[in-house]
Amino acid sequence: MSSPSPCPCFSSWSSHQRYRVGYALSAKKDQSFIQNSLINEAKQRGIDLIKIDPTKPLTQQGPFDCVIHKLYGPDWNNQLRQLSLHHPNVVVIDPPESIERLHSRISMLDVVTSLKIPPQGNQKFGVPNQRVSLDESENLMDSIEKVGLKFPLIAKPVPADGTAMSHEMSLVFNENGLKKLKTPIVMQEFVNHGGVIFKVYVVGEHVRCVKRRSLLDISEEKLNSLAADEGSLWFSQVSNLVAKNNEVGGCSELEKAVIARNKGKGWCCSEVDELVEKAEMPPLEFVMELAKGLREAMGLRLFNFDLIRDSRDGNRYFVIDINYFPGYAKMPDYESVLVDFFCDLVEEKRRKVERELGVKENRCGEIEEKNHLCE
């Protein structure tokens, strides 16, 4: 097997020219994302990944052609502003102000409801009905009845900043479960989606869609048969449903609990895996257009979104979550996708430099022409 070729745009640069990508990540993110396989593939294609020390001034490190980051706070944001001010040709992925909208579940999905993309067959998309409650004195039952929300509900914290607390959620079956919630809270109507979630990874113009296990459907019959004290189930991230053991067909504790509530249908753990295996992927054109629309509307290039398909209508999809700079290492062949993206940035920067040089040459030509006319 031949080794990967360098980025094609390097052919117009010096043969010794290399592209330097600085990365600023938390220790946990660094460990999962910056793997040897990614470093080596990048090196083979003329790209060096350089670790940034966030405790030192960013303008004193480098030089960088591009900076990717997942750090937050006023100090870091100011460092990025200073970098862009003093080194405008450095590409920053992504702007902090664009990332911040994803840190709140109040505003996160607004971009989906306002999205306009070309029609893709019979596919429709939207977001589940939801209600945000910020007032501690608010009666949550009255609140959901006003907007017509129906059980079951997914209760989520308002912050979506990647902290452990922001991932703590609950599946609420009835009023008794509702009473256990504390505000501020986002209550999202649970949509039966066949126990399968589609995780769509966006890396610039590169898009990958994968299937994952999710919460099983809950029939109205089962919902009505639940005892009053079975008000809710707590969990941390739907993505954590995947069993952490190595047993074939192993299930997480939450899956076992939901299976127990669906035991009338005869669910078992191995059948949960079969649901995912048999699930049909969403049409590629639809996924690509949705990803493109979100990328352009949010001004972000590194994100993923969770997509579910309504069990009652196979052409209706819901975006239920959007995450910045997700766990790309879980994406198949993530190394080549990320390095392809870095190469796209190389080409983007090369074109920008050439445009700037062309503008300067035109200005110089105009000045020379004026001087000649004045002689």
Which tens digits make up the pLDDT trace of 217-243?
888 877 777 656 678 888 776 555 443
Is 217 marked as binding a ligand? no
Task: For residue 325, say whether it is annotated as part of any ligand binding site.
Answer: no
327 in a labelled binding site: yes
Residue 188 assigned ligand-binding role: yes
**pLDDT of the residue at 154:** 94
The answer to whether 367 is annotated as binding is: no
In the chain, residues under CATH classification 3.30.470.20 are 104-324
Give the pLDDT score at 358.
66
Q: Is 61 annotated as a binding residue?
A: no
The three-point CA angle 88-92-94 to 5° equals 140
Q: Annotated binding residue at 33?
A: no
**Distance separating alpha carbons of residues 170 and 165, to the nearest angstrom:** 12
What are residue 326's phi and psi, to 5 degrees?
A: -75, -170
Query: 151 labelled as ligand-binding?
Result: no
- pLDDT for position 342: 96
Domain 8-101+334-364 belongs to what architecture? 3-Layer(aba) Sandwich (3.40)
pLDDT value of position 1: 40
Report d(CA 301, CA 134) in Å as an integer. Answer: 31
Question: 104-324: which CATH topology?
Answer: D-amino Acid Aminotransferase; Chain A, domain 1 (3.30.470)
195 in a labelled binding site: yes
Residues 6+ away with beta carbon under 8 Å from 272:
195, 213, 216, 249, 251, 255, 259
Q: How far apart, in whole angstroms, are the C-alpha atoms of residue 40 and residue 54?
A: 24
Note the residue count of the chain: 375
Task: State residue 279's pLDDT score.
Answer: 94
318 annotated among ligand-binding-site residues = no
Determine whether the annotation assigns residue 125 to a binding site.
Answer: no
Is 194 annotated to bind a ligand? Reply is yes
What whole-number distance in Å separates Cα of residue 215 and Cα of residue 153? 12
Q: Give the pLDDT confidence score for residue 249 in this predicted structure.
A: 43
196 is in an annotated binding site: yes
Residues of the chain with pLDDT under 50: 1-3, 8-15, 241-249, 263-266
Residue 124 · residue 185 · CB < 8 Å? no
A 10 A CB-CB count for 98 gives: 14
- The whole-model pTM stands at 0.85
Residue 192 labelled as part of a binding site: yes
Of residues 4, 62, 86, 2, the one with CA closest to residue 37? 4
Domain with CATH 3.40.50.11370 in the chain: 8-101+334-364
